[in-house]
Amino acid sequence: MKLVILDRDGVINVDSDRFIKSPDEWIPIRGSLEAIARLNGAGYRVAVATNQSGVERGLLDMAALNAIHTKMLKAVQESGGHIDVIYYCPHSGDAHCHCRKPAPGMLFDIGQRLNVALADVVCIGDSPRDLAAAVAVGGKPYLVLTGKGKATFAAGDLPEGTLVFDDLSSAVDAILSTP
């Protein structure tokens, strides 16, 4: 089974330093929804692993997070695609939990739930945490320059083998052109 794991904010939708706190604030990045549909059309399953510390910080509650994800799932479906699973970590960095990226807990949970070995699974993100989690599970780290991606790239020190793309759509082009 082919699988791609995506970060949410900055990869699928526009990111905000003030957090995405409501469905109205969730705005897809141009081409991202269609890119997910293209992955599905090529036989890939798509999972989302997203840090959502705004929950623990009290900036949004679970009902708001669920409403945001419902909007995202509907938007992807309207573009002809689907997301198989969404995993989120509601904790802040101070919690030192196993699920908050760069810890690989969410990715391991995705692999277990979908019964997929994570070695060489493409993991697409815009931050050092996303890339580190990918490496921790033996995945392929892909950096997109949307969201925090330009700052991540400028800071350097990317994990070995990280591939860099303008956005999710161009990353998917590369995935689909690889035999």
Domain residue limits, the chain: 2-177
Q: Which amino acid is at 145?
A: L
Query: For 125-144, how does the pLDDT look when each residue is reduced to its tens digit (9 = 90+)?
Result: 999 999 999 999 999 999 99
Query: For 3-36, how does the pLDDT look when each residue is reduced to its tens digit (9 = 90+)?
Result: 999 999 999 999 999 999 999 999 999 999 999 9
Distances 24 to 13, 34, 79, 90, 92 between C-alpha atoms, Å:
12, 20, 19, 20, 23
Are residues 168 and 32 in contact, defined by beta-carbon separation less than 8 angstroms?
A: yes
Instruction: Copy the structure tokens of residue 178.
Output: 């690889």
Catalytic site includes residue 7 = yes
Whole-angstrom distance, CA of residue 39 vs CA of residue 17: 29
Catalytic site includes residue 157 = no
Split at pLDDT 50, 70, 90, the class of 58 is: very high
- State pTM to two decimals: 0.97
Residue 52: predicted pLDDT: 96
Does 3.30.565.10 match the CATH number of domain 2-177?
no
Q: Torsion over CA of 78, 169, 106 and 131, rounded to 10 degrees?
A: -170
Split at pLDDT 50, 70, 90, the class of 96 is: confident
| pLDDT, the chain, mean | 96
User: Does the structure show a pLDDT above 90 at 1?
Assistant: no
Average pLDDT over residues 107-112: 98
Q: Which amino acid is at 47?
A: A
User: Does the structure show a pLDDT above 90 at 95?
Assistant: no
Whole-angstrom distance, CA of residue 108 vs CA of residue 103: 10
